[in-house]
């Protein structure tokens, strides 16, 4: 059982890699994609729909308290002994600390934080392509994208140092072909066992 975090800037390919890795049965990963869970809350008219929608439309992170509630609920509903693949969570230091404390309650921990590095100039291209393919509202407006990029640099990028201090950070070149990125990530995961 290995719990892995995939993180990087918006448009770096976290979701694509999470889908590929979840499909590899030997890892027994359950993907916890916070963005997907939040969009599901919106589509299902959940109690926090209006709040979540308001933040996503502006390209902002939903309040930590709401993220914590959604993540904890998801983890509690999973079978014992599964391996979690966290996609898009944690997105800041308080969330990383929350996740460490939550997993500690289950006597487990994050084994690796895999950082997908992509040059900034290519991210806009990727996000605009995804906006067309997936119809994602948060990828359609340039101002929203810019806000997300700034938030990433201020809030999410520092978690690289957080996990590096724990010797759990692995950097992967996200500019390469998708299958090559997956192969590199597999090599990291296999090396953990």
101-120 pLDDT, tens digit each:
999 999 999 999 999 998 87
For the cut 70, the answer to whether the pLDDT of residue 4 exceeds it is yes
Q: Exposed (0-12), middle (13-18) or buried (19+): which is 141, by Cβ within 10 Å?
A: middle
How is the chain split into domains, by residue range? 3-192
Find out whether 93 and 156 touch, Cβ atoms under 8 Å. Answer: no
Pick among 3.30.565.10, 1.10.3720.10, 3.40.50.300, 3.90.1150.10: CATH of 3-192? 3.40.50.300
Phi/psi region, residue 45 (left: phi>0; alpha: psi -120 to 50; beta: rest), is: left
Q: Which pLDDT tens digit goes with each residue over 61-71?
A: 789 999 999 99
Query: In this predicted structure, what is the pLDDT of residue 138?
Result: 54
pTM: 0.83
Listed residue (92, 98, 99, 94) closest to 155, CA to CA: 92
pLDDT at res. 163: 96
**Structure-token pair, residue 34:** 């916070």
Q: Which pLDDT belongs to residue 122?
A: 74
Q: What is the mean pLDDT of residues 122-126?
A: 69
């Amino acid at each position: 059982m290995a719990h892995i975090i995939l993180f990087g800037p918006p448009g770096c390919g976290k979701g694509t890699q999470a889908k590929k890795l979840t499909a590899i049965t030997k890892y027994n990963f359950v993907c916890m994609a916070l963005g997907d869970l939040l969009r599901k809350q919106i589509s299902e008219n959940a109690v926090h729909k209006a709040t979540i929608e308001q933040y996503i439309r502006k390209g902002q992170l939903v309040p930590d308290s709401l993220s914590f509630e959604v993540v904890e609920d998801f983890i509690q509903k999973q079978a014992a002994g599964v391996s979690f693949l966290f996609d898009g969570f944690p997105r800041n230091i308080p969330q990383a600390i929350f996740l460490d404390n939550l997993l500690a309650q289950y006597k487990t921990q994050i084994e690796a934080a895999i950082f997908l590095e992509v040059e900034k100039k290519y991210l806009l291209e990727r996000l605009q392509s995804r906006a067309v393919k997936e119809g994602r509202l948060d990828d359609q407006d340039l101002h929203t994208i810019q806000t997300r990029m700034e938030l990433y640099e201020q809030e999410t990028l520092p978690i690289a140092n957080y996990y590096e201090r724990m010797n759990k950070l692995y950097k992967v070149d996200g500019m390469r072909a998708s299958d090559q990125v997956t192969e590199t990530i597999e090599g990291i995961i296999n090396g953990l066992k």
